[in-house]
């Protein structure tokens, strides 16, 4: 029996999204259908990113296709990803946030939170609607970096439900566990408690319409990372590392985590932080990127993250030099990118330019995953 496009889509039209009560074809959730020999490959979006919901969708698709075609030995392989893009409230979680991007690092102390804060503030300064979730449950730092340590989110009624109103600073809407705990209080939570708290920052808050939401992840590859991918529709992840070999070992693990088949989150790029250092004398009267090679000091090694990006075939977004005033700006709660034409602000311009190109490439719908090159025969 010939496998036709009409037969496959007829079978897929019998798969009902449990939340919206409509079939996945009419909801335009099917991203790709290909055939390779006795195997059908289906790529679909799901409105509920939770792993159990994705598994149920995969099982329903396999059942309906096998039931409709009744071909002995037929294999059906299904790949699912959360609905991305602002699609009129179609997505169940954060329906009016165009893109949710995790900023992660395998190792602590590489400046991930500082990079995230400046990226958020810089994009907002360029006119984007930006949200920021401080998901570093055990070491929240965004309230300090945005000078809102003493702020507390309001609660309001929305559709008969109490929701949290994010705190705004420098044009960025943000929520952090740091708003709900005393600065000197140790947050000694087990995994399930931390995951539930993180869940509330996304699902029990009024985020409204955003062009991009950045999520500052805790270092490592643990419960919080898995919970985030299962609960939130990620458009992709960014990995931050220093060029130091010790940091690169963990950065490699960070890339591998998001690329796992069970998670399947696009790694949008690697950022090399603390790439090199120049003395105050060298900086006098010069723009940061005009510092000649012989006056750059590669304290943590040279271009290690760039080499890793090339090895893993992941985009290399930018290198950020080590500038003292970047640290000072974070400590006083005013991101360095807002300092005007200073070395600290100049350090982040290439990263912001790279991020805007990435967002333009994602478009309204987010990254469209294509089939494996070996399975590119579109059903006719």
What is the C-alpha separation between 86 and 96, in angstroms, rounded? 5
The region of weakest confidence among 82-96, 187-201, 228-242, 268-282 is 82-96
Take residue 243 and report the two structure tokens written for it.
């060029």
Total length of the chain: 380
- The pLDDT confidence band at residue 33, using thresholds 50, 70 and 90, is very high
Q: Which of 143, 135, 138 is nearest to 228 (CA)?
A: 135
Q: Which of 174, 127, 112 is nearest to 146 (CA)?
A: 174
- Pinpoint the residues of the chain covered by CATH 3.40.50.300: 100-362
Which residue reads 């099917």 in tokens? 30
What is the C-alpha separation between 371 and 34, in angstroms, rounded? 8
Domain 100-362 CATH class label: alpha beta
Which residue reads 């000694």 in tokens? 188
Q: Does residue 275 contact residue 248 with C-beta atoms inside 8 Å? A: no
pLDDT digits (tens, 9 = 90+) for 336-351: 999 988 999 999 999 9
Q: Does residue 121 contact residue 170 with C-beta atoms inside 8 Å? A: yes
Return the H-helix or E-strand segment holding 145.
helix 142-145
Return the H-helix or E-strand segment holding 46.
strand 39-46
Could you give the percent of the chain with pLDDT greater than 90?
A: 53
Which residue reads 């010069």 in tokens? 286
pLDDT digits (tens, 9 = 90+) for 150-205: 999 999 988 888 999 999 999 999 999 888 776 666 665 666 676 777 888 888 99
Write down the architecture of domain 5-83+367-375 according to CATH: 2-Layer Sandwich (3.30)
- Pinpoint the residues of the chain covered by CATH 3.30.300.130: 5-83+367-375
Q: Does residue 212 contact residue 359 with C-beta atoms inside 8 Å? A: yes
What is the C-alpha separation between 77 and 59, in angstroms, rounded? 10
Q: Does residue 19 contact residue 85 with C-beta atoms inside 8 Å? A: no
């Amino acid at each position: 029996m010939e496998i036709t496009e009409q037969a496959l889509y007829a079978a897929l039209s019998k798969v009902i999204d449990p939340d919206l009560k409509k079939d996945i074809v009419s909801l335009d959730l099917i991203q790709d259908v290909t055939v390779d020999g006795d195997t059908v490959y289906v790529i679909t979006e799901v409105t509920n990113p939770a792993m159990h919901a994705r598994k149920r969708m995969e099982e329903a698709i396999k059942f309906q296709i096998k039931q409709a075609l009744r071909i002995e030995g037929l294999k059906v392989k299904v790949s699912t990803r959360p609905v991305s893009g602002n699609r009129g409230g179609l997505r169940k979680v954060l329906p009016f946030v165009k893109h949710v991007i995790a900023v992660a690092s395998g190792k602590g102390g590489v400046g991930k939170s500082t990079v995230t804060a400046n990226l958020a503030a810089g994009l907002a300064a360029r006119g984007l609607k930006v949200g920021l979730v401080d998901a570093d449950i055990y070491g929240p730092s965004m309230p300090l970096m945005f000078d809102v340590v003493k702020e507390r989110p309001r609660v309001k009624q929305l559709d008969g439900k109490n929701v949290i109103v994010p705190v705004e600073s420098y044009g960025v809407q943000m929520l952090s566990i740091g708003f709900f705990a005393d600065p000197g209080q140790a947050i000694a939570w087990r995994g399930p408690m931390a995951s539930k708290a993180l869940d509330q920052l996304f699902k029990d808050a009024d985020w409204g319409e955003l062009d991009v939401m950045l999520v500052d992840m805790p270092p490592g590859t643990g419960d919080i990372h898995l919970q985030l991918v299962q609960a939130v529709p990620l458009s992709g992840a960014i990995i931050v590392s220093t060029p130091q070999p010790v940091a690169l070992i963990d950065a490699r693990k960070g890339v591998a985590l998001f690329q796992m088949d069970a998670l399947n989150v696009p790694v949008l790029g690697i950022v090399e932080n603390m790439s090199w250092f120049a003395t105050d004398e060298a900086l006098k009267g010069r723009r940061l990127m005009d510092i000649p090679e012989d006056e750059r000091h590669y304290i943590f090694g040279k271009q290690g993250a760039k080499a890793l990006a090339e090895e893993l075939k992941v985009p290399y977004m930018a290198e950020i030099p080590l500038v003292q005033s970047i640290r000072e700006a974070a400590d006083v709660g005013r991101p360095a990118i807002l300092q005007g034409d200073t070395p600290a602000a100049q350090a982040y311009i290439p990263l912001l330019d790279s991020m805007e190109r990435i967002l333009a490439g994602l478009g309204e719908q987010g990254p469209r995953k294509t089939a494996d090159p070996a399975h590119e025969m579109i059903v006719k």
